[in-house]
């Protein structure tokens, strides 16, 4: 575990950990009195946590201020809009996106999406929140991403002020440089990745009318779960390269 995510903000007194979190710290990580580890509260503040005492079913922690957020992670928030893939691929995508530090993950229903909304979105959302939490604790990513409700792609056709919007699509042929597109150090970046089979020409046109910039990841045809990692990694690298 790289860091432990606290369920509430740290107050002036000790922190009492019970339930599933107690089981994880005590029985999985085998922490005992005097052990120290890194933690972060919902507001993103980091702490050095020490096990002060233990009682049946509970650990009591002492929290001391830790390191400030990393500049590269605090500077820009990246939201992933993922057209729903088949099977359990979205579980893997959520895990990878959380490790890469995105602030928001929303599933999108597009023209070629083969998955229909079936009333199980709430259960899927809870599972994805658990997956994201585990990924952030394991990787040390700066923030726990919000798992947003699914949206139709039509919602993305409307312009969004204050956001740089990118759609990764192999049909991009005008040679836009990602470094140049991200040169102005945007505070918010939306990344849209299509489904198996890709986005249609009509969807791409409507997205461009709504302010999306089409970016290519090259001529190679990537699996959707690979394209997500490639797109997010490219954005993070370009943001880092552009930082003064």
Note the pLDDT tens digit of each residue in 171-202: 665 667 888 999 888 999 999 999 988 899 99
Q: Tens digits of per-residue pLDDT, 43-64? A: 778 889 999 999 999 999 999 8
Answer for the pair 59, 74: CB distance below 8 angstroms, yes or no: no
pLDDT surpassing 80 at residue 13: no
Is the CA virtual torsion 84, 146, 238, 70 positive or negative? negative
How many angstroms separate the CA atoms of 26 and 17, rounded? 10
Whole-angstrom Cα distance, residue 208 to residue 92? Answer: 28
Q: How would residue 78 be classed by pLDDT, with cut points 50, 70 and 90?
A: very high
Q: How far apart are CA 200 and CA 220, in angstroms?
A: 18
Q: Are 97 and 105 in contact (CB under 8 A)?
A: yes
One fold for 4-65 and 71-242? no
More confident residue, 218 or 202: 202
Confidence at residue 157, expressed as pLDDT on a 0 to 100 scale: 96
Pairing relationship of beta strands 164-168 and 212-215 according to DSSP bridges: parallel
User: 71-242 falls under which CATH superfamily?
Assistant: SPOUT methyltransferase, trefoil knot domain (3.40.1280.10)
Q: How far apart are CA 153 and CA 156, in angstroms?
A: 5
Cα separations in angstroms, 16 against 22, 55, 131: 9, 10, 24
Second-level CATH architecture of 4-65:
Beta Barrel (2.40)
**Residues 6+ positions from 226 with CB-CB distance below 8 Å:** none
The pLDDT tens digits for 113-157 are: 866 656 677 788 899 999 999 999 988 888 899 999 989 999 999
Q: What is the mean pLDDT of the chain?
A: 88
Q: What was the pLDDT predicted at 212? A: 95
* Domain parsing of the chain, residue ranges: 4-65, 71-242
């Amino acid at each position: 575990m790289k860091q432990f995510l606290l369920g509430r903000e740290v107050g002036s007194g000790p922190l009492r950990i019970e339930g599933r979190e107690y089981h994880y710290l005590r029985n999985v990580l085998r922490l005992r009195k005097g052990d120290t580890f890194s933690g972060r509260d919902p507001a993103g503040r980091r702490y050095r946590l020490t096990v002060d005492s233990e009682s049946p079913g509970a650990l009591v922690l002492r929290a001391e201020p830790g390191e400030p957020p990393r500049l590269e992670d605090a500077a820009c928030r990246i939201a992933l809009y993922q057209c729903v893939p088949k099977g359990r691929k979205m579980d893997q995508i959520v895990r990878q996106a959380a490790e890469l530090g995105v602030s928001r993950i929303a599933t999108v229903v597009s023209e070629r999406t083969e998955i229909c909304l079936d009333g199980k979105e709430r259960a899927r959302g809870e599972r994805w929140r658990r997956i994201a939490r585990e990924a952030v604790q394991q990787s040390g990513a700066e923030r726990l991403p919000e798992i947003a409700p699914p949206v139709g792609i039509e919602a993305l056709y409307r312009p969004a002020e204050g956001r740089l919007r990118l759609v990764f699509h192999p049909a991009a042929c005008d040679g836009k440089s990602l470094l140049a597109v991200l040169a102005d150090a945007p505070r918010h970046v939306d990344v849209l990745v299509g489904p198996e089979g890709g986005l249609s020409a009509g969807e791409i046109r409507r997205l461009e009318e709504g302010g999306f910039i089409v970016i290519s990841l090259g001529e190679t045809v990537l699996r959707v779960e690979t394209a997500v990692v490639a797109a997010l990694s490219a954005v993070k690298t370009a943001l880092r390269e552009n930082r003064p």
